[in-house]
Amino acid sequence: MTILNAPNALSTKKTQRPRIHILDAVRGIALIAMAIYHFTWDLDHFGYVEPGLSTRGGFAIFAHAIAASFLFIAGYSLYMAHGREWRMRSFLKRLAILIVAGAAITVVSIITTPNAIIYFGILQAIAVSSIIGLAFVRLPAPITLVAGIAAIALPFITRPEFFDPRYLAWITMPAHPPVSNDYVPLLPWIGPFLIGIAASRVTLPWLKTASLWPQRENGFTFLGRHSLIFYLLHQPVLFGLVYIATLFVQPDLGPAYLSGCQTACEASDSAAFCTSYCSCTRDKLEEAKLLTPLMRDETTDGDAIRLNQIAMMCSVN
């Protein structure tokens, strides 16, 4: 697999090349960073931390840095595998793994988060970037580097509404991006991939001969070598553990409700009214044991009447 297992790991025993441990270690560190971010997202999703913590500010930058690192490593690995000779059987095998794994994650997202389906996430982006990247592995590094920088810059220069439909939104960041828990459009994200190809072309000869840490395998390199398994399993495990925690220690969803209610209410009413209204509805929802179902979008048609009554009651207070 391109980012998740180094290309030479899929070779046969006779043609297997010595692994570059530092590349496995970097990949392992990126995987741990990803697990930290996903655990924070899970805590956010279930209401254990400040609402939106995982999707703004420092954590948003953290998530983008992790995605960029995976794509950079993917590009670096692509040149390692095909810079000197085409190895199409190996390439097609890794591509198939990416496509199947990406499709599986999409199916799971349809079940677990139907309002934010993952339809073009990191695995799909790497798969498409790998196909396009084959055209760059034989080009001079400066050309590939410039192409990568241009790919990163272009979506911030223009975002045509033409790409708003979901069937086109995978190409570039549109004017109105779709809601998704893992949205990695080709532009700008092929940029780090191409930069990785350029960096590999320049540094790989030195990297193969340099005496670099670690010279022996450790926990990071182990994760790097088995990263596909870790990638596919870590989030279901973390998500499941946090869900189990909710069965014993219920998160306080009141602050999250108040924050969201206040923001939505102030779009049409005064701040003073909204503060009173949101506090009232929170208390009534808790009394009716509807706050948790409402926050998790689990209310039924039968709850709608009671929700309307609470809204009307608090509107006149």
In this structure, of 36-40, 194-198, 260-264, 270-274, the range with the lowest mean pLDDT score is: 260-264
What is the C-alpha to C-alpha distance for residues 71 and 184, in angstroms, rounded to an integer?
Answer: 10
**Per-residue pLDDT at 219:** 81
Whether pLDDT at 6 is above 90: no
Q: What is the pLDDT of residue 215?
A: 65
Confidence class for position 17, pLDDT limits 50, 70, 90: low
Q: What is the pLDDT of residues 59-106, one digit of tens each?
A: 999 999 999 999 999 999 999 888 788 888 889 999 999 999 999 999
pTM, entire model: 0.80
How many other CB atoms are found less than 10 A from the CB of residue 70? Answer: 28
Lowest mean pLDDT among 99-113, 250-264, 265-279: 250-264
Lookup result for tokens 């179902």: 293
Element (H, E) at 311: helix 301-315
Q: Write out pLDDT tens, residues 134-179.
A: 999 999 999 999 999 999 999 999 888 888 888 899 999 888 888 8
Please say whether the beta carbons of 227 and 126 come within 8 A: no
DSSP string, 230-280: HHHHHHHHHHHHHHHHHHHS----HHHHHHHHHHHHTTTS-HHHHHHHHHH
Helix (H) / strand (E) containing 147: helix 141-157
185-205 residue pLDDT tens: 999 999 999 999 999 999 887
